Amino acid sequence: MGGIGLTMRWLAEVHVALRSGIADPEGQSIGSALRALGYPTVSEVRSGKLMRIAFEADDSDAAEAAVEEMCRRLLANPVMETASWELRADEQQDVEAANP
């Protein structure tokens, strides 16, 4: 990461989802449960993962590049998943505090 004094804290919310066309039995099961609970108009549920990642980077370009690399190297398997994320400067300083 960057030099002392320049570094900023960032918070990334990474969403990992199964690619369209890949069957999602968990999502289907959740959808069935919702319909059984009295929500007959639920037509589809797709499940996925949400990861909140607190980290440091010098600027928004570096932070964006870091998240892209994290997704590519570990967080999503491109064979069956896609990753998207939202990135913001982290004023709350830690992941726990960011949880509602």
Partner 1 sequence: MTDAARAPRVAIAVFPGTWSERDFAHVVESVLGWEARLVWHADDDLGAPDAVVLPGGFAHGDHLRTGAIARFSPIMRSVEAFAVAGGPVIGSCNGFQVLTEAGMLPGALLRNDHLEFRCEWQSLRVERPGSCSVWFGDMADGDLIRLPISHGEGRYVADEATLDMLERDGRVVLRYADADGRVTDEANPNGSQRGIAGIVNERGNVLGLMPHPERASEAEIGGTDGLRFLRSLERWLQEQPAAAERRLSSG
Q: Which residues bind partner 1 (CB under 8 A)?
A: 18, 22-23, 25-26, 29, 74-75, 77, 79-80
Q: How far apart are CA 18 and CA 1, in angstroms?
A: 31
Query: Phi, psi (5° rounding) for residue 48?
Result: -170, -165
Least separation in angstroms between residue 91's CB and partner 1 is 28
- Which CB sits closer to partner 1, 36 or 97? 36
Rank residues 29 and 93 by Cβ distance to partner 1 and give the closer one.
29
Name the minimum Å distance from CB 85 to partner 1. Answer: 16
Question: What is the smallest separation between the CB atom of 9 and partner 1, expressed in angstroms?
Answer: 23
Helices (H) and strands (E) in the chain, counts: 3, 3
CB atoms within 10 A of CB 42: 15
